[in-house]
Amino acid sequence: MYNTDELERQALAAIKEHKLMFIEHLVAYLPCSKPTFYELKLNESNAIAQALLKNKITNNGIDLKDRVTLKGRKGRKKGSGYVYLVHCDGSDFYKIGRSKNEYEARLSSLQTGCPYDLFMIKVWDAVDFISLEKLIHEELEPHHHRGEWFVFNERELLSVKNKIDELCTTQIA
């Protein structure tokens, strides 16, 4: 018999110590199997989900696998810009916006008016970034909260990023 509170505590400690980002990696540090982890519904723990998500976005605000190297506007097409996905720490709120300026400057500008830490999750470079942002907002309407803010849980986040990747491919290919 497993004590779920103790397993959750161990999971949170392992996530922090080993900077884990995925459940598949986490279960290797726990005294239970992956099926048991799911049977105990630890995959539904908000604390575990938030800790994993935080590790995904702590590398300068961008997942290592999603890291982009966009350095200013030099060499970019006239009229091009960015569409970005920003996470409001400690919540399921995400902002999908656009900017002609460097995304680091945009994040800094957003942070000024927000009492919570904001993290840049991903940035997409696009020639027609205004139309692309509008299309993304229309496609993600079921998740819309207010203005440019949307609500996604951790599981939905991957599918949202994939959806935006798909829209970017069809939009700028």
109-118: Cβ within 8 A, 24+ apart = 110/86, 114/88, 116/88, 116/89, 116/90, 116/91, 117/88, 117/89, 117/90, 118/86, 118/87, 118/88, 118/89
pLDDT, tens only, 111-120: 888 888 888 8
Cα atoms found within 13 Å of the Cα of residue 9, Cβ hemisphere only: 5
SS3 147: coil
Q: Residues 66-91: pLDDT tens digits? A: 433 333 444 455 567 888 999 898 88
Residues 106 and 34 in one domain: no
Q: Name the pLDDT band for 121 (thresholds 50, 70, 90).
A: confident
Please tell me whether residues 93 and 153 are part of one structural domain: yes
103 and 42 together in one domain: no
Instruction: State whether 160 and 130 are in the same domain.
Output: yes
Encode pLDDT of 130-170 as tens digits. Answer: 888 888 898 889 999 999 999 988 778 888 888 888 777 54
Q: Name 118's bridge partners.
A: 88
**136 and 167 in one domain?**
yes
Do 102 and 32 share a structural domain? Answer: no
Domain membership of residue 134 as a residue range = 64-70+77-172
Helix or strand run (H / E) with residue 151: strand 149-151
Number of Cα atoms under 13 Å in the Cβ half of residue 49? 16
CA distance 19 to 160: 23
Q: What are the structure tokens assigned to 82, written together?
A: 């960015």
46 and 108 in a common domain: no
* Residues whose CB falls within 8 Å of the CB of residue 69, separated by 6 or more in sequence, listed in order: none
Instruction: Indicate whether 51 and 85 sit together in one domain.
Output: no
Same domain, 135 and 101: yes
> In the predicted model, what is the mean pLDDT of the chain?
79
Do 29 and 98 share a domain, yes or no? Answer: no
Is the domain of 46 the same as that of 81?
no
Name the domain count of the chain: 2
pTM: 0.56
121 and 41 fall within a common domain: no
